[in-house]
């Protein structure tokens, strides 16, 4: 399991924070890189689109969004005939959306209604990838929660339960944090 991070630009170049050009991450084009056009424009909170290989839902910056994302995940995976992945993906989706709600909300509380979290699922080849787009450009940070702290283990859970995970900073648009899951029996 690897976490990829890079600044992605529309011209397809990856640039490290110090300005050095990087080669695209392993499997670029197959792994999530950016939002991959899941939706042309952000969906309003509560709206969703489900297609045979892509599903998107707009979520708000509030705790109820975590349950909405889990329920949406269950419905999409059932529709796609992938109930065996539901438990692991629901756990990771909970962590991804919780992180977005806690750490990526716009700073001005009055502006919350103008922003939304975009949650997407993509089925491609033998992989299902969940993606959470938020307006913050701050990358996720895996910390050391210590033995007695209540929180701080979310990214470790994501790393343990997914096949691969990472994040991409989107030019002027925030970031997307993603986790990929291998479909059992798919080649």
In what helix (H) or strand (E) does residue 4 lie, and over which residues does it extend? strand 3-8
pLDDT tier at 24 (50, 70, 90 boundaries)? very low
Q: Model confidence over 132-176: pLDDT tens digits? A: 998 888 878 766 665 555 555 577 888 889 999 888 887 767 889
3-19 per-position pLDDT tens digit = 444 433 333 334 444 44
Work out the end-to-end distance of the chain between its first and last CA atoms, rounded to an integer number of angstroms.
19
What sign results for the dihedral spanned by CA atoms 112, 54, 35, 186? positive
pLDDT score, position 66? 95
> Phi, psi (5° rounding) for residue 176?
-125, 130
CA–CA distances in Å: residue 185 to residues 82, 126, 155: 11, 8, 27
**Residue 33: predicted pLDDT:** 47
**Count of beta carbons in the 10 Å neighbourhood of residue 2:** 11
Phi and psi, residue 136, nearest 5°: -80, 145
Q: Give the SS3 label for residue 91.
A: helix
* pLDDT score, position 28: 38
Name 6's bridge partners: 168
Residue 75 CB contacts under 8 Å (≥ 6 apart), including other chains: 50
The hierarchical CATH code for the domain 3-141+149-182 is 3.30.565.10
For the cut 60, the answer to whether the pLDDT of residue 73 exceeds it is yes
Task: Tell which residue, 47, 50, 26, has the closest CA to residue 38.
Answer: 50
Task: Tell me the pLDDT tens digit for each residue of 79-133.
Answer: 999 999 999 999 999 999 998 988 877 766 555 456 688 999 999 989 999 999 9
- Span 35-50, mean pLDDT? 71
Give the whole-number percent of the chain exceeding pLDDT 90.
Answer: 36
pLDDT of residue 157: 86
Q: Indicate if the pLDDT at residue 26 is higher than 90.
A: no
Q: What is the pTM of this model?
A: 0.75
pLDDT of residue 150: 57
Q: What are phi and psi of 133, to 5 degrees?
A: -100, 135
Q: Are 158 and 150 in contact (CB under 8 A)?
A: no
């Amino acid at each position: 399991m690897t976490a990829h991070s890079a600044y992605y630009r529309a011209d397809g170049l990856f640039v490290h924070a110090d300005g050095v050009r990087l080669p695209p991450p392993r499997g670029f084009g197959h792994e999530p890189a950016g939002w991959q056009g899941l939706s042309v424009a952000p969906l309003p909170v509560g709206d969703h689109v489900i297609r045979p290989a892509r599903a998107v839902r707009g979520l708000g910056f509030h705790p109820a969004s975590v349950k909405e994302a889990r329920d949406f995940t269950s419905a999409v995976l059932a529709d796609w005939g992938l109930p065996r992945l539901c438990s692991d993906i629901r756990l990771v989706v909970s962590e991804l959306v919780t992180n977005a709600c806690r750490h990526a909300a716009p700073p001005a509380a009055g502006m919350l209604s103008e922003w939304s979290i975009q949650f997407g699922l993509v089925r491609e080849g033998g992989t299902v990838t969940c993606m959470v787009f938020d307006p913050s450009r701050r990358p996720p940070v895996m910390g050391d929660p210590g033995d007695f702290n209540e929180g701080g283990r979310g990214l470790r859970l994501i790393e343990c339960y997914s096949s691969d995970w990472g994040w991409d900073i989107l030019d002027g648009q925030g970031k997307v944090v993603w986790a990929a899951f291998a479909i059992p029996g798919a080649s």
